[in-house]
Amino acid sequence: MEKIVSLCKRRGFIYPNSEIYGGFAGFWNYGHYGVILKENIKCLWKQRFIFDHENMFATDTSIISNPKVLEASGHISNFGNEIFKTEVGTGEEITISHLRPETAQGIFVDFKNVIDSHHPKLPFGVGQIGKAFRNEISPRDFIFRQREFEQMEVEYFVKEAEWEKYFEMWREIMNKFAEEIGVKSHELEVPVDERAHYSKRTIDFQFDYPFGRGELWGLAYRTDFDLKNHNLDYFDEENGERIVPHVIEPSLGVDRSVLAVLASSYTEDELGGEPRIYLKLAKNIAPVRAAVFPLLKNKPELVSKAREVYVMLKKEFPNIEFDDNGNIGKRYRRQDEIGTPYCITIDFDTLEDNTVTLRDRDTGEQERIAISELFSKIKA
Ligand code: ATP
């Protein structure tokens, strides 16, 4: 874990919060590459959990709500001391509210609005990505247990009789998502006495972190608990009756996903007789897709050709990097630690025949290919 934390800081993925003042337990800052890695994971989640399905809607609800929301949801009575209290307003008009401990309640509270806007038939769902806050007693293990973190949650509304079918559907989607981001997860059926107060079935997706096995994500059957608490229901046109839909909730922590991705991809090996560290990130989530280098920094013709290739690739892939700092070996080492799948070097032969050297991150092998082949190579 120390090696991962150190790489994250060194290369600009994640920094301790308020570091110059000694840090602040439970809070972390994402740097440039961390932001892009996290964004790539969130984009893939949006694709797989929202856009790939019919009847899935996106939302972005506020962090602070009318205090009645968390009273009705049972959070104040069950977790009151773990919730961040805040004062809304000034002077005599103060309302005590709390920062949300999960994004889910915002979705439940908007249930009627979504129905009025989109008239969806059951089953349908609403997904959102957003910050959540818990005053954890012992924040620890880097970004595993924070006081401020981010969630990607779906609330999927179904008829009671169909809950098992859709529980299985989301279970499979979560397993595929883990695979796609290169994370090996382990399912754990959570026993009755350890489930949250609202759940009739929960599967924890666990991960072997450097400090041991722990929760990565959760899949819960929340029954009709939340909609009932908020006095919400649904008019079922098929049977002409009002019913309270039941809820399946795939809940994924963004930061724990980032940590699992980092821990899964952190690799130490030897290349050309030298020890090296690299991140074996899946191409679709790597913060830098490819880096373009001129062989020598002080040869204007190489630099201008390299910039030409860089600009051309950047039109297709936004995350292409140009690097002419230090010698080539140093540049490779830096890109390996960031997890860049490909490095492209422009040398004197390029000026003659429009070919470049393409280096593969995992094997360190280099091949000579035409500039015109770069797009398809990098995309694959
Ligand atoms: P744990 O048992 O580890 O405290 P939880 O069961 O309370 O987690 P949930 O309420 O199911 O977690 O929250 C859904 C997801 O949000 C978790 O699977 C995890 O990915 C993420 N999460 C929860 N608490 C934290 C935290 N303090 N820091 C970072 N991520 C968190």
- pLDDT tens digits, 86-136: 999 998 899 999 999 999 999 999 999 999 999 999 999 999 999 999 999
Token match 């098992």: residue? 164
Element (H or E) spanning 157, and its range?
Answer: strand 148-158
Nearest by Cα to 52 from 197, 189, 145, 177:
177
Cβ-Cβ contacts under 8 Å for 109 (sequence gap 6 or more): 61, 65, 69, 230
Task: Tell which atom from ligand 1 comes closest to the C-alpha of 150.
Answer: 30
- Residue 217, pLDDT score: 98
pLDDT under 70 in the chain at which residues? none
Give the pairing type, strands 355-360 and 366-370: antiparallel
- Residue 80, pLDDT score: 83
- Distance (Å, whole) CA 229 – CA 41: 33
- Distance (Å, whole) CA 216 – CA 25: 20
Cβ-contact 269, 298 below 8 angstroms: no
- Distance (Å, whole) CA 242 – CA 244: 7
**Burial tier of 298 (Cβ tally within 10 Å: 0-12, 13-18, 19+):** exposed
Torsion of CA 224, 229, 231, 235, to 10 degrees: -10
The CA 63 to ligand 1 mean position distance, Å, reads 17
- Distance (Å, whole) CA 349 – CA 297: 16
- Alpha helices in 211-365, H assignment, sequence order: 225-229, 254-265, 300-316, 328-338, 348-353
Q: Which residue's CA is the nearest one to ligand 1's atom 23?
A: 253
Beta strands across the sheet bearing 124-133 = 56-58, 124-133, 148-158, 246-253, 212-223, 201-209, 186-189
Q: Is 139 helix (H, G, I), strand (E, B) or coil?
A: coil
Task: Tell which atom from ligand 1 comes closest to the C-alpha of 256.
Answer: 20
The CA 145 to ligand 1 mean position distance, Å, reads 8
Nearest by Cα to 150 from 76, 45, 280:
45
Q: Which residue's CA is the nearest one to ligand 1's atom 22?
A: 253
Q: Which residue's CA is the nearest one to ligand 1's atom 11?
A: 218
- Distance (Å, whole) CA 329 – CA 88: 55
- Residue 154, pLDDT score: 98
**pLDDT tens per residue across span 323-363:** 999 999 999 999 999 999 999 999 999 999 999 999 999 99
The count of other CB atoms within 10 Å of the CB of residue 170 is: 20
- Residue 81, pLDDT score: 84
Ligand 1 binding residues, C-beta < 6 A:
134, 136, 145-146, 149, 151, 215-218, 251, 253, 255-256
The CA 1 to ligand 1 mean position distance, Å, reads 19
Q: Which residue's CA is the nearest one to ligand 1's atom 24?
A: 145
